[in-house]
Structure formats: C-alpha cells, structure tokens
Structure 1
Amino acid sequence: MIVVVGEALIDLIGSAPADAGAPRSGRGAAPPDPVYRAVCGGAPANTAVALARLGVPAALLGRIGADTFGQRLRAHLERNGVRPELLVAAAEPTTLAIATLDDAGRARYDFRVDGTADWQWTPAELPDPLPEGTAALHVGSLAMAVPPGARVLEEWLHRVRAHSAATVSYDPNVRPALAGEPAEAVARVERQLALADIVKASDEDIDHLYPGRDPLDAARDWLARGPALVVVTRGAAGAFALAGPGEPLHAPFVPVDTADTVGAGDAFAAGLLDALGTLGALADRAALRRLCAAPDPANRLGPVLAHAQAVAALSCTRPGADPPYRDELPAGAGAAERAASA
C-alpha cells in the first residue's frame, strides 16, 4: 500500500463562458464573468485517486471537513477506490482552490485556506508506526507548507522514517501564493527533500524557488542532499531523471489534445510510483538505491519515466484532475512491467 499524505480540497475551475467572444453593446459593457465548476482536488488526493485507478492499493492520510464539500470529497475518494481508514474527520470547513485557466489549459491558483481542515494537524491524528503493509509514503504539496500543520507533519515524517524501511516520495508542488517568503520557502523545501528517497518536481517549482536557475543544476543540488532519485517534469520539453553523478535520463513529451493540465503532475507522480513499485523498488528503500546506483539504470528507469509520462498525458486530455484507469493506457505503457521481468 502507498500512503499519500496531505490535502483534499475543492477546486473551483474557471473558464470563459461560451459567449465570451460575442460583441457587447452599451457604454462600459464588460465581458461575461468566468464560469466556475466545483471539482474534487488537492494534489495529494489527486495522486491517491490516480494510484487507485491504476490498481495500486492507496490510502489518503488527510483531514476531511464535515461540511457539504467535505462529504463530497469523502465520497469521491471512496468511489475511486482510495482506502478510507486514514481519513481524519475534521470540524473545520473545506479548503477552496480557485483555478483560472489560460488559453493553453494551464491553471493559475488562488486559495481560501484560513482556518480550513487541511492544515490543523495534531500529533495524535498521525499513525505511528505506519499501517502494516505500507510500501511507500508520498508527501508534499500545501500540507507540508501551510502552518500550523506543516511543522507537525514534518516532525512526524522524521519519526516514521527513522523506524520504517518504506520509501518516501516528495513533491514540493510549490504554490507561490502560499509558499511564504522566498528564502523561507527554499529552506523548507531543501530541509524536507532531505527526508525523501524520491523527489518529483516541475520546472515551474524550481523556477519559483530559484528564479532563472537551470532545472538540471537545481536537480543535481537536490540529489546531493540525500534522495536516490530526482525527477523533473518540463511540460512540452518532457521530463528528466537524475539517479547519480552521470548524465540525466530524458523522456520525451507525449503529444495529446490537451483539455487542461489540472492534476497532470499528480498523475505523473502516481505513474512514477506505480512503475517503481512494479520493479520492487518501494517497500525497501535500499532496493531503490540499488536500482539507482546500477551502472546503467536507463534500462529500468527509462520505462518508469515513459509510464509516468503516459499516465500524465492521458490525464491532460480530460478537464480537471481526471487520471486514467490502467486499462485506458495506450499500448506500450506497460513498459515498466516488461522491465521488471528483464
């Protein structure tokens, strides 16, 4: 089982109404307001759903409000096969993320987070030790950034890592509106990634943290801080992985008819963990490090990246965070399974 830690919130996704381009009459006439639709989201929740749809046992360790939106989130998670035993019933209201899409389907976010459920963690709400059968933890995103719960989660991660062989995956998923002061955000991310075996980030995350810095240079620095594997997604430029001092392994962009990119990075993270699990590289972090330290890991990690790219690409063809089921993946996306038997 993979335990995903973090927020489950409601995305209010805005797009221009169908008549936005129609001519307006009258003095001072304004274009119509965007039309917003409410969908279940939150990067960790999206990743848990994507894992479950791929057939990977997954549980979300998250705080779910008792309001109408919270009830909808709980139903969404259970309907998609996410195991519910680690969900914490919270008295606080559900967090809202307001996403406005540009012409390319990329989302710009604003948030309503004050006093909401996702950030109010207490030590008593966190399992210690991890549930039996936990192969990996996937952490990061806003839950590891927004106080007061971020510090509680980070301290908990220190404890469980010291007593568990489960692999730790980290996705900083930086949101500038909530990241805090730049220097503080950099210090936090660098401190947290040092607790991880796998780091998955986007080039946008890196640019928010280190404006103008080459993503490969930043990834090399991150790898030197302790992780065994650093993977960076770059949109239309594909993705690359670093597993040692050698050259990065590149995976090309998968061209699709894009509806939007909401949840694409979360789907990629799920595909990455799914493929690594198929290779037996999650339940024991030493196995991951052996894989990454191999003289030529490309034969194994190449199919892993290709699988993650395929999962993310198919997610982009549908509006909102709507990751694919395993049987929806195109022929050839099972390359990780073939690598496992090599």
Structure 2
Amino acid sequence: MLLACGDALIDFVPVKAADGRDAYVPAVGGSCLNIAVAMSRLGALTGFVGGISNDLFGTMIADHLAASGASLRYVRRSDNETTLAFVRFVNNEPHYAFYDETTAARLWTYQEGSIPFPAIEALHVGSTTLINEPVASEYLAMFKAAKGKTTLSFDPNCRPTLTHDKAAYTARMAEFARTADIVRMSDMDFDFLFGGNDFDGKAKDILAGGAALFIVTRGGEGVIAWHKTAGRVEVPAPATKVVDTIGAGDTFQGSFLVALKEAGRIARPAIEAISRDELAAALAFGTRCAAITCSRAGANPPWRAELQG
C-alpha cells in the first residue's frame, strides 16, 4: 500500500454565477488528499492518513476518497470542523486563504503502532499540516518512526501566507528533508525556502543530507531530478492547454510514486539503484498525468483508463 498523510480540506474555487457575479464553488482538496486520489485512480492500493471531520464537509471529503478507491482505514474522524480554503488566481497560479483553527486536520495526533510501516511501500507527507502546531510535530514524529521501515516521500508545498514564523518553519522543513528518501518541491517552494534558483547547489546538499532523490517541478518548464548515480535528469512538460493548475503538483507526486512502484523502484535500495532511463520514464509519467489535471478545472487527477493509447 502507498499512504498519503496530511491535509484534507474544502477548496472554495472562484466561478462566475449565471448573473455574472463572482461566486465560489466548494470542492474537495488538500495536497495530500489529492496525492492519495491520484495514486488510487491509477490503480495503486492507496490509503489516506489524517483527521477528517464528521461534519458536512468532512463527509464530502470521505466520500471523495472512497469514490476514488482510497482506503479510509487510517483516517481518524472527529467532531472538529473541516479546514476551509478560499482560492484566488494570480497569473494563473492559485493563492489561498485558509481557515484552520481547531479543525480535524489540525488536531490529528500520531499514535505509536497505529500504522504497520513495514507493510507500507511508501509514505508521503507534506503541505499545510506541516506548518502549524500541534499537528506539525505529530507528523514529524510519525515520519521519524517510519524511517528505515518504508520509503519516505516529502513535499513542503509551502504556503507563505500561513507561515508566520519562517525561521522555525524552514528549520522544520530541513528536518523533514533530512529524514526523507524522496524530496520534491516546486520552483516557487524552492524560492520561498532558499531564495533564488540554485537548484544544482541545493540538490547536492539534500542528497548529501540523506535523500536518495531530489526533484524540482517547474510548471510548464518541466521537471528536474538529481540522483547520486543517475545524475541530473531533466524532463520537459507536455504541451497543454491550461485551465488551471490546482492539484498539478499533487498529481505529479502521486503518479511519480506509482510509476516507481510499477517499475519495481519504490523501495529505498531500488531507488538508489535506479537507472537514468528508468528515472526519466517515471518523471515523464508524472508530468503526463499532471498535464491532464491542468487541462481541466480543479484538482481532478486522471484515471488509469484516461492514459491508454
């Protein structure tokens, strides 16, 4: 099984009402939930880990996961409210306003022994649940407990408007990166955390810190990965008519992990032994799936049948 652990929320996406006024439509979202959906829709046995409310919105979230085939076995339901996010697009990039105090996701706790890590092929964490306490420390404890027992995937998916103590946040992201086997981030995340775009220099540091693989996604400019033996591998993004980019990075992450699994390269030793061509193929699969998500509204990862032909 592949697990995605973290945020599950409702995005309020801007639309035009029939009378021309601005309006918002609720849509199930959350980076880690989107990753679980992406993996499950591609046919991988997938589960979601996190807190989901028993309220109206929480029911929407649980139903969405189940409809995509993702397991709710490791979900913890509670009567706390659902996290809400309002989306605004600036230059085709989504910007978010979050409402996340005392929510089911924010108050999730890790219970030692609750996840059989040796039976899990890969475990992914990231996004808004890594910003604020108490949940950030809970996911870090889970991540460290899983170290060496399963492949660990990490994507900070930074949210600058939510990050009030950047120094503490940056230190926490560095700790997750040192623990992870796979580290991925967007070029915007990279700039927020490190400033600029010295990808090659930081890749050297991250690989030296313990990761087997470092990846930077760059939207329409494609993706670059660094590996100790395969070296630097760059893959272009497919030509796509972009409707919006919500969930594109999440789709890439989930489909990339599925590609590694299907190639027999998901375990840490197998990642370390991956060839340049195998890595390029997995990256290309991720960009292909992400392009489909970009071609339609909202975080709507492709189903396996859509990739045939």
Q: Pick from 294, 306, 309: which aligns with 1:328?
A: 306
Paired position in structure 2 for 1:203: 187
Paired position in structure 2 for 1:148: 134
Paired position in structure 2 for 1:6: 6
1:108-257 alignment runs, 5 A limit? 108-124=95-111, 127-130=113-116, 133-162=119-148, 164=149, 166-244=150-228, 247-257=231-241
Alignment check: 8 A CA contact 1:96 1:112 kept: yes
Q: CA deviation at 1:103?
A: 4.9
Could you state the TM-score of these two structures normalised by the residue count of structure 1? 0.86
Q: CA deviation at 1:45?
A: 0.4
Q: Pick from 281, 284, 289: which aligns with 1:306?
A: 284
The structure richer in strand per residue is 2
* CA–CA separation in structure 2 for the residues paired with 1:179 and 1:168: 24
State, as a whole percentage, how many aligned pairs show the same letter: 35
1:283-298 alignment runs, 5 A limit? 284-291=267-274, 297-298=275-276
Alignment check: 8 A CA contact 1:206 1:218 kept: no
* CA–CA separation in structure 2 for the residues paired with 1:36 and 1:184: 34
State yes or no: 1:55 paired with 2:47.
Answer: no
- The 3 A distance-change label for structure 1 pair 84 and 102 is same
Deviations 1:151-172 (Å, cap 9, x if unpaired)?
012112212225x1x1111111
* CA–CA separation in structure 2 for the residues paired with 1:239 and 1:261: 15
AA matched with 1:82: A
Where 1:73 maps in the other structure, the secondary structure is helix
State yes or no: 1:107 paired with 2:94.
Answer: yes
* CA–CA separation in structure 2 for the residues paired with 1:216 and 1:179: 26
Deviations 1:229-250 (Å, cap 9, x if unpaired)?
0111001211000002775210
* CA–CA separation in structure 2 for the residues paired with 1:177 and 1:330: 39
Equivalent residue pairs, number: 309
Alignment check: 8 A CA contact 1:54 1:274 kept: yes
AA matched with 1:133: A
Alignment check: 8 A CA contact 1:99 1:109 kept: yes
* CA–CA separation in structure 2 for the residues paired with 1:180 and 1:215: 25
State yes or no: 1:70 paired with 2:58.
Answer: yes
Deviations 1:20-76 (Å, cap 9, x if unpaired)?
6xxxxxxxxxxx4x3111000000000000101000110001111011000111111
Paired position in structure 1 for 2:30: 42
Deviations 1:119-171 (Å, cap 9, x if unpaired)?
112233x6445266311101111122221111012112212225x1x111111
Alignment check: 8 A CA contact 1:260 1:319 kept: yes
Where 2:108 maps in the other structure, the secondary structure is coil
Alignment check: 8 A CA contact 2:238 2:291 kept: yes
Structure with larger Rg: 1
Alignment check: 8 A CA contact 2:76 2:108 kept: no
AA matched with 1:285: R
- The 3 A distance-change label for structure 1 pair 328 and 211 is same
Where 2:234 maps in the other structure, the secondary structure is strand
Alignment check: 8 A CA contact 2:50 2:108 kept: no
Where 1:119 maps in the other structure, the secondary structure is coil
Paired position in structure 2 for 1:82: 70
* CA–CA separation in structure 1 for the residues paired with 2:37 and 2:293: 12
Paired position in structure 1 for 2:263: 279
AA matched with 2:299: A
Alignment check: 8 A CA contact 2:74 2:115 kept: no
Alignment check: 8 A CA contact 1:219 1:232 kept: no
Deviations 1:64-113 (Å, cap 9, x if unpaired)?
10110001111111111001111101121000011112353x21111001
1:260-279 alignment runs, 5 A limit? 260-279=244-263
Deviations 1:199-221 (Å, cap 9, x if unpaired)?
11100000111222423332332
* CA–CA separation in structure 1 for the residues paired with 2:151 and 2:194: 27
* CA–CA separation in structure 2 for the residues paired with 1:85 and 1:316: 30
Where 2:220 maps in the other structure, the secondary structure is helix
